[in-house]
Amino acid sequence: MWNPVTHRSLALLSALLCALPGNLLAQATPNQATNQATNQATILIATDEPTKTCDPMIYGGFIEHLGKQIYGGFFEPGSPLADEHGFRLDVIEAVKELKVPVIRWPGGCFVDSYHWKKGVGPDRQPYDDDRWGVLEPNTFGTHEFIELCRRVGAEPYICQNSLASIEEMADWVAYCNATTGELAEMRKRNGHAEPFDVKFWSVGNEKGGKGYIDKVRDTAAAMKEVDPNILVTCSGSHGPRAYIDPYLFQTAGPYLDLLSVHEYWIPNFQQHQTPDYLACLMLSEKPDAHISAVVQSIDKAKMRERIKIAFDEWNLRSWHHPGFSGHHPRKVDYQDPEIIALIKDRDKSLEPSLYTMADALFCASFFNACLRHAEDVTMANVACLVNQTGPLYVHPGGIVKRTHFHTMAMYANLLQANVARTEVDSDRLTHGESSVAMVDAIATVDESGEKWSVAIMNRHPSQEVTCTLKMGDSPVDGTYRATVLTGDSPDAYNDIEHPNRVVPQEMMLTFKDGRTSLPPHSLVIIDGRLNP
């Protein structure tokens, strides 16, 4: 049976806000403190309908050889914070908090110039990475990636270089998964007797057209001949147009298990943008619409039962890499001041002040969209997992958990396994000619049908929302444990000097007649046996 989540009275809100960082109530203007009743939302959890099982693979990550994701991120030989193999132990422990179930590697655009055999064995040589215009040290390859995944408890997901030969791609599967044969013996000589058992494979990254699709068909067939148990995906759509070429379904569809979808809603690739909180939040309903459009394409092809969605690159912001699109390889002079400046510009994505409560709430909005489409979205991978735009910032002296790190940790650790249909009737938050619902929510329940976890966010930058929560037709009453993520302003962020400016707070919330007040720019997850 479904149980509703409600919010508390204004008096209880005062106690909540006083317990939060920066004492939000004390910092609110008189107008903010007295206008809370003007913002209203009602959340109805459908208790009489079947639930959908959530796949925890939606909390996955992605790492690429760009910027400081690998080198200076997960892998930093010689660092006092790394072990004898070069793995940053503080980074691994932090990622374990996120319960990341799958990591995609090595690209991304990087993979278009990557040949896996150069990254295994003892005789590895640095080489020119003509996708990103840097010298790739080539010390982090297949074995190191598998070791990283094992350490954090994640399934490895390998993205193939679709510009390579079909034989080269099939051989990588054999190297990783075969128990006998020349490539299995090669793996054993390189120090790993047992197969890696890599389950997830992608044929290429962000490609399209008839030639690519034909190659997907032939490569997927070849890879599954090596190991029939693998799951194969390929480029489905990337960018704002959620269009899937019908030829893909007709030609490669029978060989595919997943379809890769990519989107960054603030495209920083060439031009570095810094939109404010409200401009960012106006994008927060777009993931739901994007997924709906992809589902419609799959359904139209009559392959919805067979092919699921892997949203395996997503983030509010793309990382910044001016001058190198990743699609036009170029040889570079590493001493050229212009090239040095372009590569240095990538560090703009590391600026702490970019990652505010807007990122935290957009992240929650994305997960809500995946959960609402749980029957179709079975994997998602935040791009990237560390550094650049990722939830975890890694520097030589330690780590900083950005605001969206805490959102990811809350969703991965606090929600239950099944998703209920949840209707939200909310006032709108308007900015210019755009608007989004002020409140969004998702309700989850365990297998017993008794323990509920409900995630509710108030997107308003400065005002509370009076929220009514119902289980079926009945409002919820009672006091429940809750975890609240907010900050002393919508622009609050964490940095090296202030790593805990935005952190979750645990407290008890009381619901009376189904009503409570949500703090501004906040995410609240309520946990318990909710009683109407």
CA proximity to 116, closest of 135, 91, 143:
143
CA angle at 459 for the pair 265 and 399, rounded to the nearest 5°: 65
**Position 515: which residue type?**
R
Please tell me the chain's helix, strand, coil percentages from 3-state DSSP, rounded to the nearest 5.
Answer: 30, 25, 40
Query: What pLDDT shows up at residue 509?
Result: 86
- The DSSP symbol for 360 reads H
198-213 pLDDT per residue, tens: 999 999 999 999 999 9
- The DSSP symbol for 347 reads G
CB 518 within 8 A of CB 6: no
Q: Are strands 231-238 and 200-203 parallel, antiparallel or unpaired?
A: parallel
- The DSSP symbol for 319 reads P
Query: What pLDDT shows up at residue 419?
Result: 98
CB 526 within 8 A of CB 4: no
Encoded tokens for 394: 């890694």
CA dihedral over 490, 496, 498, 500, signed as positive or negative: positive
Q: Using DSSP, state whether 522 is helix, strand or coil.
A: strand
Query: What pLDDT shows up at residue 436?
Result: 98
Question: 235-250: string of b/e by CB count within 10 Å (b at 16+)?
Answer: bbbbeeebebbeebbe
The alpha carbons of the chain give a radius of gyration, in whole angstroms, of 24
Which segments in the chain show pLDDT lower than 70?
Answer: 1-37, 325-331, 532
State the Cα–Cα distance between residues 102 and 346, nearest whole angstrom: 26
CB 467 within 8 A of CB 8: no
Q: Bridge-partner residues for 516, per DSSP?
A: 467
Distance in angstroms between the alpha carbons of the first and the last residue of the chain: 11
Encoded tokens for 245: 């070429």
State the Cα–Cα distance between residues 353 and 3, nearest whole angstrom: 38
Find out whether the peptide bond into 106 is cis, omega within 30 degrees of 0. Answer: yes
Query: What pLDDT shows up at residue 33?
Result: 34
Length of the chain: 532
What string of H, E and C letters represents the secondary structure of 472-483?
CCEECEEEEEEE
Encoded tokens for 506: 């645990």
Q: What is the pTM of this model?
A: 0.92
Q: Which domains does the chain have, with CATH numbers?
A: 10-53+418-528 (2.60.40.1180), 56-414 (3.20.20.80)
Query: What pLDDT shows up at residue 83?
Result: 97
